[in-house]
Amino acid sequence: MRALTAIFILLIGLIQYPLWVGRGGWYNVFQLTSEYEAQIEINGELKKQNDALRAEVNDLKKGTDAIEERAREELGMIKKGETYFQVINKANQ
């Protein structure tokens, strides 16, 4: 009788092993859930970046204000007839 009980316990353990540790088991599901949540956060950040870039592209395509702003800030350009003043702060020297 004890041998039969031991065999049944062993069989139940073997049946339970894939449920807890095997592929598709609870541990694997927990890991995949964590990875899924992390990927959702990464995708959210990338979506924000894409939306900002898309808005910038639309501004550059449709309006001259964005082009003018970029020319002033990145290239140091000025309009015809404007006077350029450079302010030097003595505290930073």
> How many other C-beta atoms lie within 10 A of the C-beta of residue 72?
13
Residue 68 resides in a domain: yes
Residue 17 resides in a domain: no
Residue 29 resides in a domain: yes
- Give pLDDT, residue 92: 62
**Domain assignment of residue 76, given as a range:** 24-80
Domain count for the chain: 1
Residue 31 resides in a domain: yes
- Give pLDDT, residue 54: 94
> Rounded distance, CA 84 to CA 88, Å?
13
Residue 85 resides in a domain: no
- Give pLDDT, residue 90: 83
- Give pLDDT, residue 66: 77
Residue 41 resides in a domain: yes
- Give pLDDT, residue 38: 97
* pTM of the complete model: 0.52
Residue 14 resides in a domain: no
Q: Which residues contact 20 (CB under 8 A, 6 or more apart)?
A: 26, 27
Residue 86 resides in a domain: no
Q: List per-residue pLDDT tens for the chain, 93 residues long.
A: 888 899 988 988 888 887 777 777 788 888 899 999 999 999 999 999 999 999 888 887 887 777 788 888 888 888 888 887 778 888 765
